[in-house]
Structure 1
Amino acid sequence: MEKLRCGWCEKDDLYRKYHDEEWGRPVYDDETIFEFLILESFQAGLSWYTILSKRENFRKAFDHFNYKKIAQYSDQKVEELMSNAGIIRNKLKILATITNAQKFMEIQNEFGSFSQYIWEFVDGAPIDNNPKALSEIPATTEISDRISKDLKKRGFKFMGSTVVYAHMQATGMVNDHLESCFIRK
């Protein structure tokens, strides 16, 4: 019997695997949270599929999303990334990644972990929206607005409310799997 999934992921096996194994599952480790923050920030203005299909290239180009290394990137490294056809070559987003790595560590120092900081916005537990149709899934919420505002105040770049909400979905802070999706069962 065919598994019923959220309709957005039926494009191909890459999308289905991401949906089935990652999307909407709670993530509490800072390394994975940072990876999704970076991928989501590069996604701004593009499709998630574009980013997902380049994910391994991003992983190699950005030192496996090691924020401690990224925070130290030099102008030479930025130029190297700008010549890497395997990633999105947007200088503002590359520079934002370096800034975001630095700010990420500042939050870790303040809260003990970035996970502690970000999950506090949802009281430590996923919000279950229980949508019946894709049209019921919002692009932003009051909580993503608050997180975005706080991240920007702390110096983060490319962290608008839509990017933040997508991050919340990816890391399981919200569960937007459709009622009919097999993941719910």
Structure 2
Amino acid sequence: MNKERCAWVSEDPVYIAYHDKEWGHPVFDDDRYLFEMLILEGAQAGLSWVTILKRRENYRRAFDNFEPAIIAGYSEEKVEALMQDEGIIRNRRKIESVIKNAIAFEQVQKEFGSFDQYIWGFVDRTPIVNRWEKHEDVPAQTDLSKQISKDLKKRGFSFVGPVICYSFMQATGMVNDHTTNCFLSGNKK
């Protein structure tokens, strides 16, 4: 029996695995993973998500498994080396934003004890579960993603616009947007 999934999921095994095992699943107490998803969502800007998913292991290798403490210390030489890395998207602004975001991420950790405490505070540590019937009904951004974007930018983050923030919220389970026909819908009738 085939499982029914959200309409955006193609037959690509990478997409299926991501949809089934990650998208919409709440991620608590894992700052490294939250940082990874924030960076990958920013890398995706202007591209398809599957393009980034297929390069995910390359990103993990290139960016020291998304360890903010290491990335925050990257030099200009490291940026130049990353610009030559064919396994990632070689966009200087996006690469430099990873370093900028690692520095800002560490500041948030110092202020709140963890990035997890900060980001999940926007939803009182309770995922928002929607009941969208069709993929077309799912918004690209919300008032909350605009609020998060504004706060992240104020704290020095970049590539964190409202659409990227909403995608991050979906990716980390802060919001469950699995459509009602999907076997992962958190809100079946």
TM-score by length of 2: 0.96
Encode CA deviations 1:82-135: one digit per residue, 9 max, x unaligned: 000010000011111001000001000000100100011111110011111001
User: 1:184 and 1:74 mapped to 2: Cα distance?
Assistant: 44
Off by >3 Å, runs of 4+ in structure 1:
none
| Equivalent residue number for residue 20 of structure 1 | 20
Cα distance in 1, alignment partners of residues 91 and 185 from structure 2: 37
- Return the letter of the residue paired with 2:67: N
What stretches of structure 1 of length at least 5 have no aligned partner?
none
Hey, what does 1:4 align to over in structure 2? 4
Name the structure where helix makes up a greater proportion of residues: 1
Find the residue that maps to 1:183 and give its secondary structure: coil
Q: CA deviation at 1:184?
A: 2.6
Q: Structure 2: how far apart are the matches of 1:174 and 1:72?
A: 32
Q: One-letter code of the match for 2:131?
A: N
Shift of 1:144: 0.2
> Which residue number in structure 1 is paired with residue 102 of structure 2?
101
Instruction: Summarize the alignment of residues 70-81 of structure 1 with structure 2, pairs less than 5 Å apart.
Output: 70-81=71-82
Task: Using the TM superposition, give the Cα deviation of residue 10 of structure 1 relative to its aligned residue in structure 2, in angstroms.
Answer: 2.2
Q: 5-14 vs 81-90, which deviates more?
A: 5-14
Residue number in structure 1 paired with 2:41:
40
* 1:154 corresponding residue in structure 2: 155
Residues of 2 paired with 1:164 and 1:184: CA distance? Answer: 21
Distance 1:49 1:165 in 2: 17
Where do residues 79-90 of structure 1 align in structure 2 (5 Å cutoff)?
A: 79-90=80-91
Which secondary structure state, in structure 2, belongs to the residue aligned with residue 7 of structure 1? Answer: coil
Rounded to whole Å, the distance in 2 between the matches of 1:61 and 1:81 is: 7
Q: Distance in 1 between matches of 2:49 and 2:8?
A: 11
- Distance in 2, matches of 1:89 and 1:10, equals 26
**Paired-residue identity, %:** 57
Q: CA RMSD in A?
A: 0.8
Give the structure-1-normalised TM-score: 0.98
Aligned pairs, number: 185
